[in-house]
Amino acid sequence: MIGTSLLTLYRSLTRHKLFAALNIGGLALGIAVFLVLFLFVQFERGYDRQLPGWDKIWLVNTSYAIPGFPAVNLTSDSGLLKNLKTDFADIDGVRLEEHQDTAVRNGRSLTTENVSAVDPGWFRLFPATAIEGDPIAVMNQPDMAVLTRSAAQRFFGSAPAIGQSLIMTIGGRERPFQIAALLDDLPKNMTYGSDIFIGLPPLEGGNGSDGSVRLFLRFPDASAATAFADKLPAFIDRHEESSLGQKPSDFKKLTLTPLAEVHLIQPKDRTVVLTLGLVGALTLLIAIINYVNLATARAGLRAREVALRKVLGATRRALILQLLVEAIAMAALSAILALALTELALPFVNTVGGTSLSIHYAGTGSILFPLALLIVGVGIVAGFYPAFILSRFNPARVLASVRTPGGGKAGVWLRKALVLGQFAIAIAFTIGTFVLIAQTRHVRHSDLGFDRSGLIIVPSFLADALDDAQRADLLRAFRNLPNVESAGMSRFLPTGGSFNASRYVDSATGTDISVTEVDVGRDFFTTYHSHLLAGRFFDDAHVSDDATGMDREALNKNPRNIILNRTALSQLGIRSPQAAIGQIAKFSSDTQPRIIGVVEDMRFTSPRDPVGAVVYHYVPRAAEGMVPTVRAKAGDTAATLAAMEAQWRSIAPAVPFRAKSVDDALYQRFYQQDAQRGRLFTIGAVLAVVIGCIGLYGLAAFDTSRRVREIGIRKALGASTRDILRLLIGQFLRPVLLANLIAWPLAYVAMRQWLSGFDDRVALSPAYFLIASLIALAIAVATVFAQSWRVARAEPAKALRYE
Amino acid sequence: MIQLENISRRFRADEIETTALADIDLVVEAGEFLAVMGPSGCGKSTLLNILGTIDRPSDGVYRFEGEDIARAPEARLARLRRDRLGFVFQSFNLIDELTIRENIALGLAYRTMGSAEKRERVTAAMDRVGIAHRKDHHPHQLSGGQQQRAAIARAIVGDPKLILADEPTGNLDTENGAQVMNILTELNGEGATIVMVTHSPAHADIAKRTVHMLDGRILTSARRAA
């Protein structure tokens, strides 16, 4: 029975090629979009879960009760583990210190690599597959390193890596490390670890707050971790002192985060993963709706066969089973095609989406089982209604009738409702895409409070290997380059750098002010083209501007001049920039800085975060921890970069040069992920619209061919081609127009929610809604026009003779 | 074999009710060859559909081999059609996507039987109606007469006790119509009961008994003189 059924299906598909292409193609496209986004969700949610014992590892989160201080701060003080071991003898933990962009020298070649300095027990908690040597033993020895296969290949090619040496600049000092063990490459979706591991210096105690390491603790289960976390406030009170008159544990919090939750710990990241998963599911739903629509529309064509099967003794249950098997077979065909499409699309998706997705056919994470489930699920969902409708036809009527049944009024209404549903989703996606593109463009071009074009930053200035003399020479050399307009130093890079937040609580007034303190050098504001709202910039002629080498205590004793940003004014209760000039900034009763200037807010943070209050201190001499920003003369960025690199090689040949435009740096740090996820969303949304149109085209093709006789009669009665076109296109467009009523509020709520995550955002203009709807209408008209035109122009006599 | 008592069939479309059959009483004996005649719309095909259990009467009793099946569950009727009935239609109702052999095999698709036996039965049915040489062709590649012979082969491949033929020669020319009637006569001679709807008096004359219908009622029932 099933054999003949599948044979009939096969021959029907080869005979009705357009229908087969639309149905299988549409479903395949839907499954492909779903597969890609499923892989994305699986990849993102699978972070660290391939690690044996991942569910027993927790990461220590250190946060401070400072307004504006991030709630998620997954670093700890380097001595915390030693103190914990003192108080809790059986604690099992390891530390990781991440050395980003470390200079690594192999003979004459010099590169930068991320290096992980870890405690000896690292590979106990984070097991890795050893290819050669014993990584656990190696981590006990200073000046030994463990490399992954890729790193070994990069440095030594096919030559044996064990026993070779690499020179790494760690802590400002060049040290040789001997390669003593090799690992298989780490999984791509692993949050911690890198291609090079070295030993971390032994535990140091103390109450410092260097926040330089990540501390991982292992517990037998979640309840043990929770019980341990409950003891941490008392631990903090035993080991910390408070300078604010509160209990230390009121000010500082240590919490535990499960390792597997670290990657998606930020709500915005979870929302992105959820949204893209939803886009995949809805796109698949649109494709399934297509299948149901086309299958029920074509039900009439198969009605005779099904009626005949009934006559020959098939029960309704047998027919439903047969039709479901057919739907599953169609889903399987589509899934195979979808798999091929996905394989072809993945390199492109990975490039534009910044992902590393791949399909695994064997082992854990194999796609085969989920795909089989998907095929059966899609087959049943897509096939159930057509099977229900077809198996219900009365065989006597079907076999007696010349005309084929079309499912009656209910069938027509259902098809309209399904078209309405899929276009509602497609239009909502289109609106979402427009808003997303507009926001992505906005953050890249909006006024940040400074002119970002032509600005170059030089992060390699932070290299430990540079000394102060080299820094001064380099800055001088940069300033003297003919294509450099100016260069200014700052301790706070446009893209991060050291976060120096201060909180002032005035016990007399109760004022609680949090500010970010930024050291800036000569020409900083002029280099950035900052907008001066009142007063003046720092100037060497004013001795009181210079805060070089002063810590907070020194600043309190010797009040210096400061510049504030606009937001800081409101925190201090000063009503205008002009009114601020000359005032003493009363952050608290023990500070006396004088305000000499107010600048517009400069956004050096993510567009998602509000700009906080900033106090600028003047540190005119280049110092460690400060980084230059160079402004190239108009249109000369590339040449300027080349000239700067030449100067760098001559002054600091032992340190790799790293520089990039501020625009690129901002993009990489703050916008890139949103842009990449946005592109994935756009791909899904565009394909959802395409799939919706495939369905509409199929439906139009079917419906117009069924109405040839009716149209013939209408034309015989005097209807013009234009009348017929208006009738047919109007009927198809009605559900598309109605779809806006569903799509608009959905998109409005969703996009308002998404935009609310940005401090710097576009307005949710009605234009996005109107344009999306017009585009959907235009696409729908274009889709049904060809079919309608063909039928509307047909000779009525031919149509009537045919009947 | 068949006993109909007060069988009625009414159709309702919106507000209008149409009576297709009104209080039909009919007995068909095993081995009979019954022709049903009457003008279009008189209820011939409705009667045949009810006999074939692909339509249900609105009222009345339908006994098939003594069992009242007028209100039998759908699954029971499906079994009955599968095991005891064979259908021949005016428009053949062959499936275009299947070859002639596959179309005929469809008559056994819902039976539990070994594939070798199915093959044998299909071959025998094809030989019986003289269509074996076209077994790998598709319906649209055959003439009307050949298609109808294939449809008869599909109807008899399951060895039914009752063959219901709805204007089997209606779409055929004289020669092909005669061939089809010869096959039906032979089948009746071999013991099959046949109920045939026809507009052709000549073909009705071949049947052993003819009933005439008008407006949903049986007007006359006449046996052919021996």
Q: Which amino acid is at A338?
A: A
Domains and CATH numbers, chain B: 33-54+83-223 (3.40.50.300)
What's the mean pLDDT in B88-114? 86
Cβ–Cβ below 8 Å for B74 and A316: yes
Helix (H, G, I), strand (E, B) or coil at A187: coil
CA distance A613 to A710: 73
pLDDT band at A371 (very low <50, low <70, confident <90, very high): very high
Q: Smallest CA–CA separation between B167 and chain A, in Å? A: 11
What's the mean pLDDT in B103-113? 86
CA distance A471 to A463: 10
Predicted confidence at residue A589, as pLDDT, reads 57
Structure tokens at B210: 């003819």
What's the mean pLDDT in A502-507? 59
What's the mean pLDDT in A331-354? 92
Distances (CA, A) of A775 to A431, A438, A524: 10, 17, 47
Cβ–Cβ below 8 Å for B49 and A316: no
Answer for the pair A710, A791: CB distance below 8 angstroms, yes or no.
no
Paired with A110 in beta bridges are A105
Whether the CA torsion A357, A361, A362, A365 is positive or negative: it is positive
User: CB-based contacts of A160: which residues, under 8 Å, 6+ apart?
Assistant: none
DSSP string, A518-569: EEE-TTHHHHHT--EEEE----TT-GGGB-TT--HHHHHHS--EEEEEHHHH
Distances (CA, A) of A219 to A56, A78, A80, A118, A125: 5, 20, 17, 19, 11
What's the mean pLDDT in A385-390? 82
Q: Which helix (H) or strand (E) is A82 found in, with range? A: helix A80-87
Answer for the pair A613, A568: CB distance below 8 angstroms, yes or no.
yes
Please provide the distance, in angstroms rounded to a whole number, between the alpha carbons at the two ends of chain A: 34
Residue A107 has pLDDT above 90, yes or no: no
| Whole-number average pLDDT of chain A | 84
> Which chain B residues are Cβ-neighbours of A304 within 8 angstroms?
93, 95
Answer for the pair A176, A143: CB distance below 8 angstroms, yes or no.
yes
Q: Smallest CA–CA separation between A191 and chain B, in Å? A: 56
Chain B segment 118-177 residues within 8 A of A by beta carbon are 154
User: CB-based contacts of A765: which residues, under 8 Å, 6+ apart?
Assistant: none
Q: Residues in chain A, how many?
A: 803
Paired with A257 in beta bridges are A59
Angle between helices A316-353 and A2-15 (to 10 degrees): 50
- Here the ipTM equals 0.75
Give the angle subtended at the CA of A363 by the CAs of A357 and A366, to the nearest 5°. Answer: 45
Segments in chain B forming alpha helices (H): 44-51, 74-84, 100-105, 115-129, 144-156, 174-189, 201-206
Q: Which residue has the higher pLDDT, A633 or A802?
A: A633
> Which chain A residues are Cβ-neighbours of B82 within 8 angstroms?
312-314
**Is B95 near chain A, with CB under 8 Å?**
yes
Structure tokens at A85: 């071991």
- Entry pTM: 0.77
Structure tokens at B26: 């009919």
Answer for the pair A63, A255: CB distance below 8 angstroms, yes or no.
yes
**Is B78 near chain A, with CB under 8 Å?**
yes
Cβ–Cβ below 8 Å for A7 and B106: no
Distances (CA, A) of A339 to A6, A41, A332, A343, A369: 22, 17, 10, 6, 13
User: Could you give the maximum distance between any two Cα atoms of chain B, in Å?
Assistant: 54
Name the closest residue on chain A to residue B49, using Cα atoms: A396
**Which tens digit of pLDDT belongs to each residue from A413-442?**
887 888 888 889 989 999 999 999 999 889
Paired with B78 in beta bridges are none
Structure tokens at A295: 């299958």
Predicted confidence at residue B157, as pLDDT, reads 92
Q: Smallest CA–CA separation between B82 and chain A, in Å? A: 4
Predicted confidence at residue A69, as pLDDT, reads 61
Between chain A and chain B, how many beta carbons pairs sit less than 8 Å apart?
79
**Which tens digit of pLDDT belongs to each residue from A110-140?**
788 889 999 988 999 999 889 999 988 888 8
**Is B52 near chain A, with CB under 8 Å?**
yes
Predicted confidence at residue A102, as pLDDT, reads 81
Predicted confidence at residue A615, as pLDDT, reads 87
Q: Smallest CA–CA separation between B222 and chain A, in Å? A: 27
pLDDT band at A203 (very low <50, low <70, confident <90, very high): low
Cβ–Cβ below 8 Å for A312 and B105: no
Structure tokens at A255: 């919490």
Paired with A661 in beta bridges are A456
Q: Which residue has the higher pLDDT, A511 or A28?
A: A28
CA distance A474 to A376: 66
Answer for the pair A78, A97: CB distance below 8 angstroms, yes or no.
yes
**Which tens digit of pLDDT belongs to each residue from A618-650?**
988 766 678 889 999 876 788 889 999 999 999
CA distance A160 to A372: 44
**Which tens digit of pLDDT belongs to each residue from A528-544?**
999 999 999 998 888 88
Predicted confidence at residue A71, as pLDDT, reads 65
> Which chain A residues are Cβ-neighbours of B52 within 8 angstroms?
311
Predicted confidence at residue A62, as pLDDT, reads 85
User: CB-based contacts of A699: which residues, under 8 Å, 6+ apart?
Assistant: A293, A294, A297, A415, A419, A732
Cβ–Cβ below 8 Å for A313 and B83: yes
Cβ–Cβ below 8 Å for A314 and B97: no
Segments in A364-486 forming alpha helices (H): 368-392, 395-400, 408-445, 468-480
Name the closest residue on chain B to residue A318, using Cα atoms: B110
Burial of A691 (0-12, 13-18, 19+ CB in 10 A): buried
CA distance A404 to A386: 15
B97, B101, B102, B111: best to mutate for the A interface, most A CBs within 10 A: B97
Name the closest residue on chain A to residue B73, using Cα atoms: A315
CA distance A765 to A580: 37
**Is B92 near chain A, with CB under 8 Å?**
no
Residue A740 has pLDDT above 60, yes or no: yes
B60-71: buried (b, 16+ CB within 10 Å) or exposed (e) per residue?
Answer: bebebeeeebbe
CA A752 to chain centroid, in Å, comes to: 18
Predicted confidence at residue A673, as pLDDT, reads 82
Predicted confidence at residue A245, as pLDDT, reads 62
CA distance A546 to A558: 11
Name the closest residue on chain A to residue B91, using Cα atoms: A399
**Cα R_g (chain B), whole angstroms:** 17
**Which tens digit of pLDDT belongs to each residue from B53-85?**
888 899 999 999 999 998 888 888 888 888 899
pLDDT band at A206 (very low <50, low <70, confident <90, very high): very low
**Which tens digit of pLDDT belongs to each residue from B163-182?**
999 999 888 888 888 988 99
Q: Smallest CA–CA separation between A386 and chain B, in Å? A: 19
CA distance A400 to B50: 13
Secondary structure in 3-state letters for A394-407: CHHHHHHCCCCCCC
Predicted confidence at residue B123, as pLDDT, reads 94
**Is B45 near chain A, with CB under 8 Å?**
yes
Q: Residues in chain B, how many?
A: 226
- The beta-carbon neighbor of A313 closest among B45, B82, B91 is B82
> What phi and psi values does residue A214 have, to the nearest 5 degrees?
-105, 135
> Which chain B residues are Cβ-neighbours of A7 within 8 angstroms?
97-98, 102
Cβ–Cβ below 8 Å for A315 and B105: no
pLDDT band at A207 (very low <50, low <70, confident <90, very high): very low
CA distance A373 to A364: 16
Segments in A314-366 forming alpha helices (H): 316-353
B95, B96, B138, B154: best to mutate for the A interface, most A CBs within 10 A: B95
CA A788 to chain centroid, in Å, comes to: 43
| CA-closest candidate to residue A527, choices A399, A630, A658, A400 | A630
**Is B14 near chain A, with CB under 8 Å?**
no
What's the mean pLDDT in A266-274? 85
Cβ–Cβ below 8 Å for B93 and A304: yes
> Where do the DSSP E strands lie in A21-67?
57-64
Mean pLDDT highest for which of A300-304, A455-459, B11-15? A455-459
> Which chain A residues are Cβ-neighbours of B74 within 8 angstroms?
315-316
Paired with A99 in beta bridges are A115
Work out the number of other CB atoms within 10 angstroms of the CB of residue A694.
23
Predicted confidence at residue A14, as pLDDT, reads 81
Predicted confidence at residue A802, as pLDDT, reads 45
What's the mean pLDDT in A640-669? 87
Q: Smallest CA–CA separation between A331 and chain B, in Å? A: 21
Please provide the distance, in angstroms rounded to a whole number, between the alpha carbons at the two ends of chain B: 22
What's the mean pLDDT in A716-731? 81
**Which tens digit of pLDDT belongs to each residue from A42-87?**
888 989 988 888 999 999 988 877 655 666 677 777 788 888 988 9
Name the closest residue on chain B to residue A7, using Cα atoms: B98
Q: Smallest CA–CA separation between B166 and chain A, in Å? A: 10
Name the closest residue on chain B to residue A306, using Cα atoms: B95
Q: Smallest CA–CA separation between A695 and chain B, in Å? A: 24
Residue B214 has pLDDT above 60, yes or no: yes
Cβ–Cβ below 8 Å for B95 and A8: yes
Residue B34 has pLDDT above 90, yes or no: yes
pLDDT band at A225 (very low <50, low <70, confident <90, very high): very high
Whether the CA torsion A461, A465, A469, A473 is positive or negative: it is negative
Name the closest residue on chain A to residue B50, using Cα atoms: A396
Give the angle subtended at the CA of B25 by the CAs of B21 and B26, to the nearest 5°. Answer: 105
